[in-house]
Structure 1
Amino acid sequence: MAATGWPLSSSAADLLPSSLSLTLLLASLVVVVVLGAAAVFFEHIRKIGCTHSLERTAVSASFFEDPNSLDKVPCPSIYEPTEKYISLIIPAYNEEHRLPEALTETLNYLKQRSAAEKSFTYEVLIVDDGSTDHTSKVAFEFIRKHKIDNVRVLLLGRNHGKGEAVRKGMLHSRGELLLMLDADGATKVTDLEKLEAQVRALAKKAESSPAPSNSPSQRISDAEIAVFGSRAHLEKQALATRKWYRNFLMKGFHLVVLLTAGPGIRDTQCGFKMFTRAAARKLFTNIRLKRWCFDVELVYLCKHLRIPMAEVSVNWTEIPGSKVRMTSILHMVFELLLIKVGYGLGIWKIYS
């Protein structure tokens, strides 16, 4: 007579309904995928932090090329004393068609103002971000006409992103005031006077503050101030003329920016921003993002470094040829997440 009792072996799956087994399998796969994605994400943040540490301590061997003499002019450092009143930094990627008109208008204004004000010295620094067209050739023609002391071209070799192009330009500029502006000329260069006036107003306010000052006769370059050009006053007009899905994306992006950097600057993406030399030194040696959302990171850094900020309305015209695509929006959201996690968890350090 055969003995009765529990079977010697059984499969756990045999004890569960097939639907529950499938659910557990799918849940396990989801957990593995999420944990794997999180590991990759945090490793990406860590690598950005490591790269930034190396860039902060690396000795720059960059130089400008002079097409007139064929000499190589060593790049100055933002840590060196000022040589100009203002530096205009123009990031350019495949801008051979839009750059000439914008540069001509910019240099005409600068020459006229320099003739009227002897203390108004300037330089225009075009940062070619690895263009594959004739952007650098166009820029070099302006050097031949205006001399390398006033117009300089920095070649990055390969495409890094607008944020990196602006960072490089800022760190190799000579001005007391540093202005970034787009290569398409969407914002009138004359509006720099509005930002300049706001910088001086904030500097005067800081001088009259009861807080102790190291120097009673502080130069404008020594004050830490950032002024952001803004198109926020044009928002109603933009909402009325744009497609509904673009408005939806814009509103959603603004909400994510608010959650990332907090309130204070309504239009973080306008490519017309002015910094004093002291502020640029702190901000652009800390900045990590190289592409779309470096502007938001600047706002975040200003708050944490206690650099006074202001927002000034500027004239702006939409110029055909925008490089923003649907994939760019996704990249922007990803970069905003990098800011929130990188700084929020202390993975990225802020150096003062």
Structure 2
Amino acid sequence: MVRLLLAENMGSWWWSLLLLHASVVVLSVAAFFLEFVRKIGCKHSLERSAASDAFFEDPNSLNKVPCPTIFDPAEKYISLIIPAFNEEHRLPGALVETMNYLQQRSAADKSFTYEVLIVDDGSTDKTSKVAFDFVRKYKIDRVRVILLGRNHGKGEAIRKGMLHSRGELLLMLDADGATKVTDLEKLECQIHMLAKKNKEIKSLSGASDDSSQKLSDIEVAAFGSRAHLEKQALATRKWYRNFLMKGFHLVVLLAAGPGIRDTQCGFKMFTRAAAQKLFTNIRLKRWCFDVELVYLCKHLNIPMIEVSVNWSEIPGSKVRLTSIIHMLFELVLIRLGYGLGIWKVYT
């Protein structure tokens, strides 16, 4: 009987010790996440208040051209922002296709003015050389390069490009050319339709006289989407990749809510006014900045629309299994940062 009581006491003691250890682990993990979220918030506050000393290098004149800011009046109709990290092999083909399209459209329509911003995210190969070759060919008014010095992440590269662009419309697109640049017309059309609808609604409500309001002053976002290709992708991908994709979509839904089915397509367009709010608020620098953009659009009441685009898989993807883990980590940061009010949204 005594042995039985001792055994029960020992069992109870072990369970208590196990629960104590589990509680310590949970609290430690929670403290780690909260501290990480707080540090990101502090860093963002410093970045918002820091004066920009960025410039473009002109290889033709060897002069340094000061960067404009997103708060300056628009000087071009459209800016194309291309983040590039070790893309010396895929970037040339994508840039040739992009520049051919832009030149043809500009020749047909003199009001179609453009610029291409290539943001070298700390590449260790010849990406910057490839980019500057295009600056030499097309001149710095049309092609510009921002060198980040070290690798920050795709989100930070796009943020930098957006903040130093001159367009009424701003398009982010990947350096691999997976989405046809001609599809920007689909997003552009939807942007114009949403902007027109926005003007009509404000006019009917008597909020203001928007007859002379510029496109760049209206807040609208258009997200390229590959969701219409999902059935084909499910049939060709390995089962575990489909499982990971479905799980990721579920977590995205919990983090940003419904509305956009394909948050990760690297083909998105914003009006200048929308970009001003979104890219001065965005905090994530790597994998899930796209999800944060969706969250911010909802929070800031920026109309957004999902537009189907043509897409093909280009060899050389940098997404790995570890990338999925990093994505999940960043989704938790979004939920904690905004959910607990640690990350403030500036309007």
Q: Who is 1:8 aligned against?
A: none
Q: Does the aligned pair in 1 maintain the 2:119–2:158 contact within 8 Å?
A: yes
Task: Indicate whether 1:68 and 2:63 are aligned.
Answer: no
Which of these residues, 231, 249, 252, is aligned with residue 247 of structure 2? 252
Q: Who is 2:97 aligned against?
A: 105
Give structure 1 stretches of 5+ with no counterpart.
Answer: 1-13
Q: Matches of 2:64 and 2:8 in 1, distance apart?
A: 75
Superposed CA offset, 1:298-337 (max 9, x none): 0000001000000110000000011001011011111111
Q: Matches of 2:143 and 2:187 in 1, distance apart?
A: 22
Q: Matches of 2:119 and 2:132 in 1, distance apart?
A: 12
Give structure 2 stretches of 5+ with no counterpart.
Answer: 1-5
Q: Matches of 1:15 and 1:197 in 2, distance apart?
A: 75
Superposed CA offset, 1:89-127 (max 9, x none): 000000000000000000010011001100001000000
Q: Who is 1:226 aligned against?
A: 221
TM-score, normalized by length of structure 2?
Answer: 0.96
Shift of 1:35: 1.2
Q: Who is 2:25 aligned against?
A: 33
| Aligned residue type for 1:153 | V
SS of the counterpart of 1:275? strand
SS of the counterpart of 2:29? helix
Q: Who is 1:7 aligned against?
A: none
Number of paired residues?
A: 340
Shift of 1:27: 2.2
Q: Matches of 1:318 and 1:332 in 2, distance apart?
A: 20
Larger radius of gyration: 1
Q: Who is 2:130 aligned against?
A: 138
Q: Matches of 2:32 and 2:305 in 1, distance apart?
A: 37
Shift of 1:31: 1.6
Which of these residues, 257, 262, 275, is aligned with residue 267 of structure 1? 262
Task: Indicate whether 1:200 and 2:192 are aligned.
Answer: yes
The CA RMSD over aligned residues, in Å, is 1.3
Shift of 1:214: 5.0
| Aligned residue type for 1:331 | H
Which of these residues, 277, 281, 295, is aligned with residue 276 of structure 2? 281
Shift of 1:213: 2.8
Shift of 1:16: 7.0
Superposed CA offset, 1:253-307 (max 9, x none): 1111111111111111000000000000000000000000000100000001000
**Percent of matched pairs sharing the same residue:** 77
Q: Does the aligned pair in 1 maintain the 2:77–2:167 contact within 8 Å?
A: yes
Q: Does the aligned pair in 1 maintain the 2:215–2:271 contact within 8 Å?
A: yes
| Aligned residue type for 1:348 | W
| Aligned residue type for 2:178 | A
Superposed CA offset, 1:163-207 (max 9, x none): 000000000000000000000000000000000000000011111
Q: Who is 1:310 aligned against?
A: 305
Q: Matches of 1:16 and 1:70 in 2, distance apart?
A: 82
Q: Give the stretch that moved more between structures: 276-285 or 34-43.
A: 34-43
SS of the counterpart of 1:239? helix
Task: Indicate whether 1:217 and 2:212 are aligned.
Answer: yes
Shift of 1:341: 1.1
Q: Matches of 2:282 and 2:200 in 1, distance apart?
A: 30
| Aligned residue type for 2:145 | V
SS of the counterpart of 1:90? strand
Q: Does the aligned pair in 1 maintain the 2:48–2:280 contact within 8 Å?
A: yes
Q: Matches of 1:204 and 1:213 in 2, distance apart?
A: 14
SS of the counterpart of 2:184? helix
| Aligned residue type for 1:143 | V
| Aligned residue type for 1:346 | G
